[in-house]
Amino acid sequence: MAKWVGQPLKRVEDPRLLTGRGVFVADLPLKDPYAAAILRSPHAHARIRSIDASAALAARGVAGVITGADALAHTQPFAVGVQAPVKYYCLATDKARFVGEPVAVVIARDRYLAEDALELIQVEYEPLPAVVDPEDALKPGAPILHEAAGSNQACHREIVYGDVEGAFAAAAVVIRERFRFPKYSSTPIETYGVVAAYDAASGVLTITSNFMGPFILHALVARALGLAENRLRFVVPPEIGGSFGIKTSIFPYLAVMGLAAMRTGVTVRWIEDRREHLLASSSGVDRVAYRELAARDDGTILAMRTRWYDNVGGYVRSPEPGCTFRPVGNWVGPYRFANLAADAHVVLTNKSLTGPNRGYACGHLYFEIERMVDLLAQRLGMDPAEVRRRNFIQPGQFPYRTPSGGLYDSGDYPAAFERALEAAGYDKLLEEQKRARAAGRLYGVGLAVAVDPSVSNMGYITIALDPAVRARPEYLPKSGAIESATVKIDPLGKVTAILGTAPQGQGHQTIVAQIIADELGLAPGDITVVDEMDTFTRVWGISSGTYSSRFGSVGTSAAALAARKLKDKLVRLACALTEAPAESLVFADGRVMPRGGGSRGLTLKELAGRAHWNTQALPPGMEPALEATAVFGFPLADSPDAQDRVNSSNTYGFIAEVMAVEVDPETAEIKILRYVTVHDAGVIINPLIAEGQIAGGALHGLGGALWEELAYDSEGQFLSGSFIDYLVPSASQAPVIEVEHLATPSPFTTLGAKGLGEASSMTAPAAVANAVSDALAPLGIAITELPITPSRLWHLLDAARRRPR
C-alpha cells in the first residue's frame, strides 16, 4: 500500500537551502528595526551594587537601556520546575550567577552602535566566591547562589523501584564506579535570533524568533511579561538553522526582548553572536555519578544503584531539571533487571544554564550503564556481548513495563544486537585485536546498546516533585504528548498541509508530502507543506514543537489522521453524489470506487471540484470545505503515579553499536577504525533523512566524548569562548558510519514509526569509551570520564606505564 513512505526521496527543502534562498529570522524584512546588544557579566558570581546607564542612554543612536530594575518592576520570575525558591528573571536583578549572564540590554539604531554603548554602562560589581563543581557546591561552606534556597541543591529525589537491598545482598558480584560526563552543547549553524514588536493600540506583543517548542514555554513567557496568552504572538519564520534541542532555551531572550520592545516602543532585533552562543545559550549538564551494579556470577544483572549530581548552572531554567528525569521510564535501558535505586541531585553552580541537548540525559545514562556492563564482563572474564545477551528484554515481552514505569512499545533487542555484531564482523575484530596486541598495538572493540526514547510525556518532569506534593489538592497534574496537523484539498484536487511543529531542518515538508501522497493516492509533488509557525493562526498544543525526536511518530500520526478524515469525507460525498449506499464505496488509489471494483469511480480531483463549486449539492449535514485538522495524542502518556512510575516517553527504539579503535601509544590519538550502528526506529519513512539523523547524532555524541567541552576554570571563568577552543568535529573527524535498520513497528503510532533524531548521540560516548577502555585494558586503564582528550589519555597511559606491575 505504501508507495512513497519508505522511499529515500530527496528533500524538497534542500534546493532553497543549498542555494541560499532559505528565509531565516535574520533575513526578515522589518519596518524600522533597532538592534539589541546585551551586556553580560564578566564575573562568575557577583553582587550587582549599581548600574549607571546614563552615558549609554546619551550615546549616538541609542533608543533605550533595559536593566534588572526594569525586569523587577515589569516582569515576573519564570516558573521553575523545582520547589527550591530559585528566582529566575530575564535579566540579573540582585546578583550575576555565571559568566555571560545578561545584565543589561542596549537598544540602538544598529548593532555597532549598540555594542559601542554597552561599553559606556557602568556596573558596580562586588565579586563573590564562585563554585563550579556540583559536588563542591553541596559541601558545607560552599558559596550559596540563591540565599533564599539556603543551599545549592535545587532538587533532590530518592526513588527506589523493587527490592534493591535484597538484590545487592544476594549478589555474587558488585561493581562500583564513579563517572564524569562533560558539559557540551550543539552549536547549530544559526544562532538564536529574536524580533520583538509591541503594538500598544492592540496590546499585542509579536515575537518572531527561531523558537522550536515546546509550546509550554509560550505560557511561561506570557506569565513573565504579564500578558494574556492571546496578546502574545509567537511567529517562527520558514527556516530554522538547526537546534538539536538548544533552541528550546531561547525563551528568556523572548521575554527580555519583548520587555525591551514594550519599554522602548521600537521594533527590537537581536541576533545572538557565536561568542554569546558559546558563553550563555544552553548545554547539557555536566554530571558526576556513582553507580553500583549487583549481578549473579553468570552475568545476570540483578540491580543497580545510582547517585548522581546534575549541574544546571546558575538557575533552574525550564524544562530543567529534565536533565535528571527525562529518561525515568528507560532508566534500566534494554535490560531486564527489576531493581533500581536512584538518588538524584540537581545542583546550582556558577556555570551557564542547561537544557535539552540532543540525547537529553541519555548520553549520560548509557555512558554509565554500558561502562558498568563492560566492567561486569571484565570482572567475570566474560565476553561483553554475552553479558548483554543474557540481560536483554526478550522479544516476547513487549509491550514491556519497566520498573520505573516506562512502557516499551516494541522491539527485538537480541536480533538487532546480533545484526550489529554480524555487520561489524565482531569475531574477526576480536581476532584482529589478538594480532594487534601481540604486536604491541593498542586496539580495542567496544559495544554499546540503548533504548532510544522519543516523544516525551509532559508528565515526566513532575517526577522532580515529591509524590506528596503531587498529591495535594491544589496541584495540577501534567501529562500527555500531542501534535496537530491540518490538511486541505483545493478545488483542483491538490493538497496543502499545515503543521504546528516548528522544525529546524528535519525535512518535515518532505516527510509529510510522502505520507499524504500515500494516504490520498497523489504524488508528493502534489502536496505543499507549510511548516512556519504562528500561534495566532495555527493549531498548537502545550507539547507541540520539534524536540524529543517527536515528529517522526506524533507529527506524522497527526498528518496521516488528518488525511484520513478527508478520505472519509470524500467517500461520504461520493456516496451522496452517486446515490450509492453508505459503506459500499471505498477510497483507493486516489479515487473513490465501489468496494471490490467494477467502476472507475470518482477521482480526488472530480470530487474536490464538486465539493468546492457546488456546495448546495453536499449531502445534508455535511460541512462544506475540504479541510480537516487532526490532533494526535498518545494514549499512554499518563502523569506519574504515587510510586514515581511514569511512562516518560511514548515510543522506544533500540540502538546497537560496535566500534573498533586504535590508540597511538605515543601521542594517545584515538583512531576510529570501524563504527557500525543498527537502529530499530520502527517504520522508516525516509531512509535518507533517517540516516542523516543517525550520522549527525553519532558525530555529535563523538564530539561530546572526544572534542567538545564548555570548560571553566575553578573560579568560574569560561575557557571555551570561541571555535578555537570549543572543538566541534567536522568532516575530517567523521569516521565512516555503517548504518543498518531493523523495524519492529510501534503499535501506538499511526504509521508504526518511532523517533530517531537523537539516536546515536546517546550511544556514541559509551561505544567509544568502551572501545578505548578495551584497547587500554592490558595497561589496566578504564575510561570513566569524558571527553577523552589526547592530553588526558596520555597522562593515563603515562601513569599506567610508571605503575609497578
Partner 1 sequence: MKPPPFDYYAPASAAEALELLGRYGADARLLAGGQSLVPLLNFRLSAPAVIIDLNRATDLAYIKEETGRVRLGAMTRQRAIEFSPLVKSRLPLLAEATRWVGHLPTRTRGTVGGSLAHSDPAAEYPAVATALDAELVVRGPAGERVVPAAEFFLGLMTTALQPGEMLVEVRLPALASNSGWAFEEFSRRHGDFAIVGIAAMVTTERDRCRSARLAACGAGPVAVRLRGAEEILEQGGLGDLNINAAAARAAELVDPSADLHASVEYRRHLVHVLTRRALKRALERARGGGAAPLRS
Long-range contacts from 474-478, C-beta under 8 angstroms, 24+ separation: 477/639, 478/639
Min dist CB 669 to partner 1, Å, is 7
DSSP state of 249: G
Min dist CB 737 to partner 1, Å, is 18
Nearer to partner 1, 83 or 667 (CB): 667
Nearer to partner 1, 133 or 452 (CB): 133
Piece in contact with partner 1 (CB under 8 A), picked from 288-296, 323-331, 571-579, 706-714 = 706-714
Min dist CB 288 to partner 1, Å, is 20
Nearer to partner 1, 115 or 490 (CB): 115
Min dist CB 273 to partner 1, Å, is 4
Asked whether 340 and 327 are in contact (CB, 8 A), the reply is no
Piece in contact with partner 1 (CB under 8 A), picked from 343-351, 583-591, 717-725, 745-753 = 717-725
Among 152, 282, 543, 720, binds partner 1 (CB under 8 A): 720
Among 21, 671, 795, 801, binds partner 1 (CB under 8 A): 795
Nearer to partner 1, 277 or 538 (CB): 277
* The three cell numbers locating residue 465: 516533585
Q: 35-59 b/e with 16+ CB inside 10 Å = b?
A: bbbbbbbbbbbbebeebebeebeeb
Asked whether 786 and 182 are in contact (CB, 8 A), the reply is yes
Nearest residue to 515 via CA among 692, 684, 747, 757:
684
Nearest residue to 326 via CA among 83, 550, 633:
550
Amino acid at 468: A
Asked whether 208 and 237 are in contact (CB, 8 A), the reply is yes
Piece in contact with partner 1 (CB under 8 A), picked from 62-70, 150-158, 522-530, 707-715 = 707-715
Among 116, 310, 412, 531, binds partner 1 (CB under 8 A): 116
The rounded distance, in Å, linking the Cα atoms of 421 and 434 is: 18
What's the alpha-carbon Rg for the chain, to the nearest Å?
27
Nearest residue to 256 via CA among 270, 243, 277, 273:
270
Binding mask 616-655 for partner 1 (x = CB under 8 A): ----------------------------------------
Nearer to partner 1, 77 or 790 (CB): 790
Among 274, 336, 494, 565, binds partner 1 (CB under 8 A): 274
Among 471, 589, 669, 778, binds partner 1 (CB under 8 A): 669
Min dist CB 733 to partner 1, Å, is 6
The rounded distance, in Å, linking the Cα atoms of 238 and 13 is: 10
3-class DSSP string for 578-617: HCCCCCCEEEECCEEEECCCCCCCEEHHHHHHHHHHCHHH
CA dihedral sign of residues 71, 76, 78, 82? positive
789 touches partner 1 by CB under 8 A: yes
The rounded distance, in Å, linking the Cα atoms of 199 and 790 is: 55
* The three cell numbers locating residue 37: 546588544
Asked whether 496 and 190 are in contact (CB, 8 A), the reply is no
Asked whether 507 and 686 are in contact (CB, 8 A), the reply is yes
Nearer to partner 1, 54 or 722 (CB): 722
Cite the beta strand spans of 615-767 per DSSP E.
Answer: 627-633, 651-663, 670-680, 738-741
Nearer to partner 1, 83 or 122 (CB): 122
Min dist CB 435 to partner 1, Å, is 23
Piece in contact with partner 1 (CB under 8 A), picked from 50-58, 217-225, 375-383, 793-801 = 793-801
Nearer to partner 1, 727 or 777 (CB): 727
Min dist CB 326 to partner 1, Å, is 29
707 touches partner 1 by CB under 8 A: yes
Nearer to partner 1, 271 or 376 (CB): 271
Query: Which residues touch 421 (CB under 8 Å, ≥6 apart)?
Result: 385, 656, 658
**Residue 759: Cβ within 10 Å count:** 32
Nearer to partner 1, 533 or 661 (CB): 661
Instruction: Give the burial class of 715: count Cβ atoms within 10 A of its Cβ; 0-12 exposed, 13-18 middle, 19 or more buried.
Output: middle
**Residue 536: Cβ within 10 Å count:** 11
Nearer to partner 1, 182 or 752 (CB): 182
Between residue 722 and residue 741, which ones bind partner 1 under the rule CB under 8 A?
722, 724-725, 727, 729-730, 732-733
Min dist CB 116 to partner 1, Å, is 6
Q: How many residues contact partner 1, by CB under 8 A?
A: 30
441 touches partner 1 by CB under 8 A: no
474 touches partner 1 by CB under 8 A: no
What's the first-to-final CA gap in the chain, in angstroms?
65
The rounded distance, in Å, linking the Cα atoms of 256 and 196 is: 9
115 touches partner 1 by CB under 8 A: yes
Min dist CB 424 to partner 1, Å, is 26
Element (H, E) at 566: helix 556-578
Nearer to partner 1, 101 or 709 (CB): 709
* The three cell numbers locating residue 257: 526582548
Nearest residue to 391 via CA among 449, 464, 455:
449
Min dist CB 97 to partner 1, Å, is 23
Min dist CB 66 to partner 1, Å, is 19
Piece in contact with partner 1 (CB under 8 A), picked from 90-98, 224-232, 530-538, 790-798 = 790-798
Among 600, 613, 791, 803, binds partner 1 (CB under 8 A): 791
> Which region, left, alpha or beta, applies to residue 579 given φ > 0 means left and ψ of -120 to 50 means alpha?
left
Nearer to partner 1, 143 or 790 (CB): 790
191 touches partner 1 by CB under 8 A: no
Nearer to partner 1, 395 or 665 (CB): 665
112 touches partner 1 by CB under 8 A: yes
667 touches partner 1 by CB under 8 A: yes
3-state helix, strand, coil in the chain (%, to 5): 35, 25, 40
Piece in contact with partner 1 (CB under 8 A), picked from 72-80, 489-497, 576-584, 665-673 = 665-673
Piece in contact with partner 1 (CB under 8 A), picked from 195-203, 268-276, 342-350, 414-422 = 268-276
Among 219, 523, 719, 736, binds partner 1 (CB under 8 A): 719
Element (H, E) at 289: strand 286-295
Min dist CB 438 to partner 1, Å, is 23
Nearer to partner 1, 548 or 720 (CB): 720
**Residue 596: Cβ within 10 Å count:** 8
Among 61, 530, 790, 800, binds partner 1 (CB under 8 A): 790
Amino acid at 314: G
Among 32, 474, 583, 666, binds partner 1 (CB under 8 A): 666
Nearer to partner 1, 276 or 368 (CB): 276
The rounded distance, in Å, linking the Cα atoms of 726 and 766 is: 21
Residues making contact with partner 1 (CB under 8 A): 111-112, 115-116, 119, 273-275, 666-667, 669, 707, 709, 711, 719-720, 722, 724-725, 727, 729-730, 732-733, 789-791, 794-795, 798
